[in-house]
Structure 1
Amino acid sequence: MKKYKFSKYFENEVLRKRPYIKKEWCIKVIENPIKVEKQEENRWRFWGIVEEFDNKVFRVVTLEDKIILHNPFPDRRFKE
């Protein structure tokens, strides 16, 4: 089982600006994505449904290692 970590940006900015976001949701998206794509600058994007947040799609961005979570948010414009 992977041991996930959270970037300083995640801990200091994301959780402050979006206190409703739960780390468990982000891990669930990473482990059960409906879509994954490589992003520029050595990052990865994962999309997944968060049932606890009214079944909305969240995008979770990780660093290149896919273990350090960097930026999660609800993605209103998601298209498969």
Structure 2
Amino acid sequence: MKFTQYFLFTRERPDRQEIKLEWIEHVFNFPEKEEIQSDGRIRRWAKIAENQKYLRIVLLEDGVTVHNAFFDRSFKPGN
């Protein structure tokens, strides 16, 4: 995995500091859902067992560079 400068910057925000790199790797490797955005970026979601929340990561079009990662409160499994 690679990371954009935007990801590295937003990772410092207090609401993002709790997101562990191992959780991002889990979503990257084992997504429960994946969607391609209209701009070509890739969204992936997976539930994090430790806190029972769904983590969304956004990858660039290359499929390997993480651009964003956050807990998605609006995500509903099966949609």
TM-score tier, shorter chain, comes to 0.7 to 0.9
Counterpart among 60, 63, 67 of residue 57 in structure 2: 60
Question: TM-score, normalization: structure 2?
Answer: 0.87
The alignment yields a C-alpha RMSD, in angstroms, of: 1.0
- Richer in helix (by share): 1
Q: What does 1:36-75 align with in structure 2 at a 5 Å threshold?
A: 36-52=34-50, 54-75=51-72
Runs of 4+ with deviation above 2 angstroms: none
1:13-49 Cα offsets, whole Å, 9 max, x none, are 2x11111112221111011111000012120000001
Q: What does 1:8-47 align with in structure 2 at a 5 Å threshold?
A: 8-13=5-10, 15-17=11-13, 18-47=16-45
Question: TM-score, normalization: structure 1?
Answer: 0.86
Distance in 2 between the 1:76 and 1:43 partners? 20
Q: Which amino acid aligns with 2:36?
A: K
What are structure 2's unaligned runs of at least 5 residues?
none
What are structure 1's unaligned runs of at least 5 residues?
none
